[in-house]
Structure 1
Amino acid sequence: MKLYANPTSPFVRIVRMALIEKGLNEAVDTTFVDAWADDPAFLDANPAGRVPTLVTDDGARLTEALLILSHLDATGTKPAVLAGGPAALSAAGVAIGVFDAAVAVIIGRKSAPDFDTGLVGRKRYRTMQEGLRRLDAAFDGSQGFDLPAIAAITALDYLVFRFPDHDWRGLCPTVAAFRDAHGDRPSVRDTVPRG
């Protein structure tokens, strides 16, 4: 399998964390790309030019993080990342909504330097703040390490990375403590956003 990735994308990170947790990391050739550079090989794999993109051993091109996670659950031998029922998927959805809003701000800034203070930018910040509060209310620190945990850690780390002037950890102390308790876990440690 080949994974087209970017070291800062939270969508890529949830896939990379799942690969490590499921023991599939060594079975995947990860190629880091600049999604804005229009690399021909990457665009051949995904004409939308979005990461993550997974090309399976039989040539199928999976282009969305949750579709890739579903495939990994079907491929891997460890417990399913997407397990846990509606409550777990709901918590994961809140966390994914948080980092989706953050990515929207980063992309919005590319075309409008004042994006953060406009209507859409303010709504995205509200989504990030309220999402972290709700996520924290759903966490009790005893979670397994499945998609809600992976997505929550990813959301918090991404906000701290992209918006360091805000006290994101203060909005979600339970999630922050959970993240800190798992900071040395290879899937967390080896996928921290950099760049």
Structure 2
Amino acid sequence: MTDMLVPVVSAALISNFVLRMPLASDQLLKRQRVNALGLATLLLMILSGILGYLLHHYLLLPLALPSLRLFMLLAITALLIQPLLSTLSRCAPRLPFDGLWPLLLGNAGVLGAVLLGARHDHDLAYMAVLSLGTGLGFWLALSLFSDLRHRVAGNDIAQPFKGLPLDLIGAGLMTVAFLGFNAMIKS
């Protein structure tokens, strides 16, 4: 049980792709779409991580074509987006999944998670857990940014700090807070 819990906590809190690496951040995200994008990204990371692992280990490596891994992962991610969004919109009709296709396609966090997971020689369960933790960390960072924007929307803020400067200050403070989790797990 601990073997599966450590990668989830590590990927969600310690190696948070949005805060540690500038992957997958989007300035145009509205507050009502945070949960829809978080859920869609979480499921896309899990599905593309598992399928990417399977195709990499059982198709590309036996054919001695590991250099095609990036192109295969891009195609898998692009092909999974539309069926995933249509399934999610049927299962959760209250969440606004319309218009998320370009955000998911341009999300470098999904591809980064799959590439980093495939780089290490772990098993399929580890890749699934790593994808789950990365997706949860992405959703957490989106929620934190959305909450920050919502809280400062009605406040009187000096003009030079409005918009992007305040977002960067918030991102820096969140990154420092998440760095505090580094001592929690030693690998």
User: Which TM class, normalised by the smaller chain length?
Assistant: under 0.3
Which structure is larger by alpha-carbon Rg, 1 or 2?
2
Q: Point out the structure with the larger strand share.
A: 1
The TM-score, its normalising length taken from structure 1, stands at: 0.27
Bigger relative contact order (CA 8 A; separation at least 6): 2
The TM-score, its normalising length taken from structure 2, stands at: 0.28
